[in-house]
Chain A
Amino acid sequence: MQQARTGESTIRNETIVERTADRELVVTRTFDAPAHIVFDAWTKPELLKRWWAPKSFGVSLFECESDLRVGGNYRYAFGRDPRYPEVFSGRYVEVTSPSRLVLTQVYERMSDAGEAVVTATFEESQGRTRLTLHQLFPSKEALEGALASGMETGMRVTLDQLDALVVSMR
């Protein structure tokens, strides 16, 4: 198993990125709150709009529609300019509040590449919640499409290894 860790202080909750299989990427993070709160923040559009888009990248989530039930659809439109949004959409495959969510995901610019399957699990322990996000890409092309969007990728080498390589080459 390959891992990339953030080299931050131990006081902060660490974001861990792992590549567990050829097309699968796993992101793990713990939150200081019970699962039902993290699940809500992850599924309610008015809350998603406030955190999903990384602000320092200058992007916002313009539209967020979510019909949170098995077979229900969702759609996120984000980007720098609302006139030219990037769109992720898909449907919910499994909705088990507040512990598990499975959804399909299509990056509309690359819709020919097929659907990714995203599984989010929320494990509560002593008032804290560990979120595990599995992203299974349908193909190499889809992975490359996601890569081109600059938002997701499959990682085959750890960031620690790259850190060491890059530092040693300066």
Chain B
Amino acid sequence: MDRKKAIGLCLCRMCPSFVDCKEEIAYCLADKGTSGCIKEEQGCLCPGCPVQDEENFQHVYYCIRGNEAGQSHAR
């Protein structure tokens, strides 16, 4: 999915773990690393996110643990 479309669908801003530091959201598809400001896992909305659904992604907490490709590779 195009990142711009993903940002439009992404639920990150409603997430209990989200901290707004003006980063680009849709961390599941982010090119580089993790969020620079979100550090605590306080819940995750990724499992119910339309981006996750459409892409059939299988991980969570992308903002902290890294994007889908990175987490898949780690396993």
- Chain A bound to chain B: no
